Chains A and B, each alone.
Chain A
Amino acid sequence: MTLVALVPLFSVIFMLVWRGSKQLSLGVFTELPPTAFEEGGGFGNAIVGTLAIVGIAALISVPFGILGAIYLSEADSENRLARSARFAAKVLSGFPSILAGVFAYGAMVIGARVWGWGGFSAIAGGVALSILMLPMILLTAENALHMVPRRMKEASYGMGATSTQTMLNVTLPTALPGILTGIMLAVARAAGETAPLLFTALFSNYWLMSNGKIDLLQPTASLAVLIYNFSSMPFENQIEMSWAAALVLVLLVLFMNLIGQAVSRRSIRA
């Protein structure tokens, strides 16, 4: 059985490395995507875009996720608000990602026009991804907080700590590795999402800038959407680019996971 499961996995990895590495060069990180009959080119703007969009999503979902998890873990079992919040998070974690995109489209692309801005942007993409990340972070963080042994918290209370002091000094640090793992998983998932970005960040053939300044309010390229766009193109070079982009995306996610693991291992030892 294990073998059967390993065959597709390894064939995907093999294809990815084999086809992706052919085009991999320094240029892909620094150049803009090629047009139809152009040779060479790269997807530097999509890498920056993915990092920006996922960064915005993390900026929204990490604080809310952790604060929510603290609330849920401290609320007692009869607290209705906590129960419905937990239920909502569970439902939301199985939410089709395309619907998160539709929601962010409605709220950020169309809805925000009411206040005089809106449109396809990195921020709209970040909001869409944060909807997917929030429940994952919330539920894993709550679980990690629950795993902190009761006797450790009692020790803190027994020393004359308030509940805030106990949370900040004992419970959160002890749960940190688990919380970080949850964040990394959520980031890894969000980085690979295409559907929600199609409605929100859209795509761009240019850098995430306007008038020489970083501009988060314009359509933004991302690796996932680039792969999606280029892989269905009839032009050889663009198809090759999408393979290279896929490899870079996988390496990026892997890299983030490794950082997460290193950080959490460090914090256990401390």
Chain B
Amino acid sequence: MNVHHSTNSLETPESRGAQSGVKPVENVIDCDIQELYYGTFKAVRDTRIPIEKNAITAFIGPSGCGKSTVLRCLNRMNDLVRGFRFQGHVLFLGQDIYAPAVDPVEVRRHIGMVFQQPNPFAMSIYKNVAYGLKLNGYKGNRDELVEQALRRAALWDEVKDKLHKSGLSLSGGQQQRLCIARAIATEPAVLLMDEPCSALDPIATRKIEELMLQLKERYSIAIVTHNLQQAGRVADKTGFLYVDTSQGGRTGYLVEFGETERIFKDPQEAHTKEYIRGEFS
């Protein structure tokens, strides 16, 4: 990664290996959420999810169980929410991103995010993709990196003749791929995707799914989806979150985590069984 960073509070895998001689960690992220609050509301508890390197990890579960909350914990997006409090830790390549010395802005440069609603900026396609390069003060050949990101996002052929048109002029599916291109242009280690297809039609959805399978060769991906079939098609690992309203609370937690096949074919927990049966019938 030849992108300039403003602070050195986060180490790259290479620098860690070089310094300590330990072998590289298999999980890019180890997340252990003991308790997570929005103000006085306890939103999530007891959730440990590893994000494996060069794999797709899916979070599934009913609406409101905290999937987005957990995902947004992984790059400190929740820090933007007033009243957000968090107990536990999130290790990115072995380093706690919630440690006091760590700048959340820096975390987000390594752990990119794609949102539920496509959200390109009101600027040209080119400028959208170059945004992260600009933030990083990247001095090299931006054209090349923009083209590379757009190619990897499977959007290049559709936009190469209109790079200076507004990103908002694209269709929904194209906008979402533009957002993916924007996120990967700075070569993050991890890509977080929060229901990236929920605003898209089935054809655009298929395209993004194919794209994710290509992208996992280079990046590690965590995806939230309410679409079980989608998790089945793309995810290597799946975590099932659930919110137990029977105990009076509305606190979500991780029920079960494992190989996607295993979760779907042979769920161990009653809640998982019930949910998967319900969704497929």
Contact assessment for A156 and B121 in the assembled complex, using a CB-CB cutoff below 8 Å: yes
Provide the bound-state CA to CA distance between A152 and B166, in Å: 14
Q: Give the docked Cα–Cα distance between A159 and B75 (Å).
A: 10
- Supposing A151-B115, A269-B166 touch, asked if A159 and B122 sit within 8 A by C-beta, the answer is no
Q: Which of B106, B119, B132 contacts A149 (CB 8 A)?
A: B119
Q: Does B182 contact A (CB under 8 A)?
A: yes
Report the Cα distance A173→B105, complex, angstroms. Answer: 21
User: Which A residues between 137 and 195 are near B, CB-CB below 8 angstroms?
Assistant: 149, 151-152, 154-162, 165, 169-170, 173-174
Contact flags (1/0) for B48-85 with A, using CB distance below 8 Å?
A: 00000000000000000000000000010100101000
Judge whether B198 is part of the interface by a CB distance below 8 angstroms: no
Tell me if A152 and B122 are in contact (CB < 8 A): yes
Contacts of A149 in B (CB 8 A): 119
Q: Which of A157, A160, A174 has the most CB of B within 10 A?
A: A160
A158 and B135 in contact, given A173-B122, A269-B166 (Cβ under 8 angstroms): no
Tell which of A152, A173, A268 has the most Cβ of chain B within 10 Å.
A152
A270 contacts chain B at the CB level, 8 A cutoff:
yes
A158/B75 contact (C-beta < 8 A), A152-B122, A270-B124 known: yes
Residue B131 lies at the interface, judged by CB distance under 8 Å to chain A: yes
Contact B132 A159 (CB under 8 A): yes
Contact indicator B122/A158 (Cβ below 8 Å): no
Nearest CB in chain A to that of B107: its residue: A160
Contact with B along A240-270 (1 / 0, CB 8 A): 0000000000000000000000000000111
Whole-angstrom distance between the alpha carbons of A76 and B124 in the complex? 31
Given A159-B183, A269-B166, A270-B124, A154:B77 Cβ within 8 A? yes
With A161-B135, A270-B123, A270-B124 as contacts: A155 and B108 at CB distance below 8 Å: no
Q: Kindly identify which residue among B80, B121, B182 contacts A157, using a CB–CB cutoff of 8 Å.
A: B80
In the complex, chain A residues whose CB is within 8 Å of the CB of B182: 155, 159
Does B117 have its Cβ within 8 Å of any Cβ on chain A? yes
- Chain A residues in 8 Å Cβ range of B82: 76
For B77, the chain A residues whose CB sits under 8 A away are 154, 157-158
Contact A160 B115 (CB under 8 A): no
Task: Tell me the total A-B contact number using a CB cutoff of 8 A.
Answer: 65
Query: Shortest CB–CB separation between residue B3 and chain A, in angstroms?
Result: 10
Distance, CA A39 to CA B106, complexed state (A):
73
Residue of B nearest to A155 (CB): B119
- The reply to whether A161 and B122 form a contact with Cβ atoms under 8 Å apart is no
Find the A residue at minimum CB distance from B182.
A159
* Pairwise interchain contact A151-B117, C-beta atoms closer than 8 A: yes
CB nearest to B164 among chain A residues: A270
Bin the interface of chain B by size.
20 to 34
Bound form: Cα–Cα A106–B122 in Å: 46
Question: Could you say which residues of chain B place their CB within 8 Å of the CB of A158?
Answer: 75, 77, 108, 112-113, 115, 183
Q: A160-B135, A173-B123 are in contact. Are A155 and B115 (CB under 8 A)?
A: yes
What's the Cα separation between A158 and B117 when bound, in Å?
Answer: 14
Binary contact readout B124-139 vs A (1 if CB under 8 angstroms, 0 otherwise):
1000000110111000
B45 touches A (CB below 8 Å): no
B109 within 8 A of A: yes
Give Cα A49–Cα B123 distance, bound, in whole angstroms. Answer: 39
A161 to B109: give the CA distance in the assembly, Å: 8
Q: Is B179 an interface residue (CB 8 A)?
A: yes
Contact B122 A160 (CB under 8 A): no
Distance (whole angstroms) from the CB of B124 to the closest CB of chain A: 7
Chain A, Cβ-Cβ closest to B166:
A269
A155/B134 contact (C-beta < 8 A), A149-B119, A162-B105 known: no
Q: How far is the CA of A174 from the CA of B186 in the complex (A)?
A: 23
Flag if A155 contacts B135 (CB, 8 Å): no
Let me know if B119 and A154 touch, CB within 8 A.
yes
A155 surroundings in chain B (CB, below 8 A): 115, 119-121, 179, 182
Question: In the complex, A270 Cα to B115 Cα: how many Å?
Answer: 24
Residues of B within 8 A of A270 (CB): 123-124
24 CB < 8 A contacts A-B: A76-B82, A151-B119, A152-B121, A154-B80, A154-B119, A155-B119, A155-B120, A156-B121, A156-B131, A157-B77, A157-B108, A158-B75, A158-B77, A158-B183, A159-B135, A159-B186, A160-B109, A160-B186, A161-B105, A161-B131, A169-B134, A169-B135, A268-B122, A270-B124
**What residues make up the interface of A, taking CB atoms closer than 8 Å to B?**
76, 149, 151-152, 154-162, 165, 169-170, 173-174, 268-270
The 7 closest A-B pairs by CB, nearest first: A160-B109, A158-B113, A160-B108, A151-B119, A155-B119, A174-B122, A159-B132
Known contacts A156-B121, A269-B166, A270-B123; 8 further A-B pairs (Cβ under 8 A): A151-B117, A155-B182, A158-B115, A160-B107, A160-B108, A169-B134, A170-B121, A268-B122
